[in-house]
Amino acid sequence: GPVAETFRVIQGAVTEEYVRSTQGVFQFELSGDGGGTWYIDLKTKSGSAGFGKPPVTADVVMSMSSSDFVKMFT
């Protein structure tokens, strides 16, 4: 779905440079189609993104609809 595709694109764009400059972990609590807990880790090693809880405690937790999430990242 659109949420999983958005995270696939984010994962492909994560670089060590982004991790070095950002140093943050973002958790998204999404409702609706493709919802659930997702994360972007720009703090640990070379970074990661995907479904589920982040590997370390999130610095920021955002709750929104999955459609708003997709709009925010497109």
User: What is the distance between the alpha carbons of residues 74 and 63, in angstroms, rounded to a whole number?
Assistant: 18
Contact between 35 and 1 under an 8 Å Cβ cutoff? The reply is no
pLDDT at 62: 98
- Nearest residue to 45 via CA among 13, 74, 15: 15
Q: pLDDT by residue (tens digit) across 33-62?
A: 999 999 999 999 899 999 999 999 999 999
CATH number of 26's domain: 3.30.1050.10
- Nearest residue to 72 via CA among 45, 64, 16, 9: 64
Residue 26 in any domain: the answer is yes
Number of domains in the chain: 1
Structural domain of 59 = 2-69
pLDDT band at residue 31 using 50, 70 and 90 as cut-offs: very high
